Structure 1
Amino acid sequence: MAGTDHTRNDPSTAAPGPAVILVAPQLGENIGTAARAMLNFGLTDLRLVRPRDGWPNERARAAASGADVVIDGARLFDTTAEAVAGLDYVVATTARARDMVKPILTPEAAAARMREAFAGGGHAGLLFGPERTGLENDDLAFADALMMVPVNPAFASLNLAQCVLLMSYEWHKAGDATEAVRIDYQQTRPANKEELLGFFEHLEGELDRFGFLKPPEKKPSMIRNLRNMFQRAALTEQEVRTLRGVVAALTRRTPRGEGPSG
């Protein structure tokens, strides 16, 4: 549960997402870990078709590790047809090509297509088969498209929770506006140009005073190289102050060739 913000665990405020339909799941533990994977990415609509070990299942609850909202809201169905009722677009997961004329999507494309269904006012679902055998062709017939994960063909088997996690993540990512790269500055901020220039002039002045920037004809290029190096570091205001303190500490002595002051 590390990193969980319990103050935001209100399913009533969650954006709508696809139903996750598990057809004939074998183990309660697998249902629980699938439920945990769903809630990681904001999905709560779990539909179970003929779970082998019955329902409700305490092993599922234990394996869900706190995803009780998914477990408590899970609905039980006798047939796949009943479970997909009310959905407008269904993607079925499969590990192998089937003798069916259906679009075969990557996880990313499947998530985008489901997003389109919701944007048009519809509802979508993800269909997963039993752990050992996968979906039967009769179940796949309910799907509008198949989804195959581009994995190592020599070891292509994913367990149920892994597959649910992957598709839940792709769904979430397709609608997520999080920056690809960001920095948490916490108690500081990026250094501005005035602060950087002050540091550069401080450093260069001391290097010049101690005879580092020689010969004179190479001084301009040496200064450019130093400035470019520190610019690439994307220094914070705190880091600039620290570096200026380092320079000051290292230069608190008489330069070579100079006598004591006074």
Structure 2
Amino acid sequence: MTTIEGISQIIRWGIIGCGNVTEVKSGPAYQKTPGFELLAVMRRDGAKAADYAHRHGVQKHYANAEELINDPEIDAIYIATPPDSHKFYSLKVAAAGKICCIEKPMAPNYEDCVEIYNAFEEQKIPLFVAYYRRSLPRFTQIKKWLDANSIGDLRHINWHLSKKTSEQDLSGEYNWRTDSKVAIGGYFDDLASHGMDLFNYLLGDIKQVSGFANNQQGLYSAYDAIVASWMHESGVTGTGSWNFGCATREDKVQIIGSKGKIEFAVFE
């Protein structure tokens, strides 16, 4: 019996969606975390759900999400589906009164995120989004430097992320990550959301944003080139550029202060 933030029990989790993200990253983590038990998984393809459960030693499997959500033995739900279905499933989880963790990004747009947040806030049920980079040692070290005023008063942050066009993109093979109906920002939604969450952790909440988005390559329906500028509540300014059709991959963040700067990568 493990106590987790005042809850004296084993938290029994169910996963909706058994794609690649749950195979090697999040799925095993839910099984290894003290106080957690991965009790059930769901995938619309029942045979694939059964195969996942067999390979990972999960007791239950479902082909219907509502059956998993309403299973009385399940305490919490991890939604690991593409972002266009996050709102649909999460509102059902909130209605069932269960803890929820949603794979990032929370939803494809701000309005849906607010609706999801309010649904859990009204019932005072814990809600999480699967951002984890702020807890990695190299980023906690950067936070310590910033808190210690190691580069003086903070002035500005800039991030440039670019990568080559993938073989999958060039082939025209379907990829939900670049389908505007699923994720209008394309790889920005999938990757840049990690960095923006990290910047909120390092520099405080963002209060104002502006930007532009374009599809330069015409290979898929989502955006592939995005630029933005923003202001943190602390007064620190920010700029970013993300392009997914460049000659080389680059991942470079600069935090500039009155006495120095810190450079790092979000992913490399």
- Give the alignment's TM-score, normalised by structure 1: 0.29
Bigger relative contact order, structure 1 or 2 (CA pairs below 8 A, ≥6 apart): 1
Identify the structure with the greater helix proportion. Answer: 1
From the two aligned structures, give the one with the greater strand fraction: 2
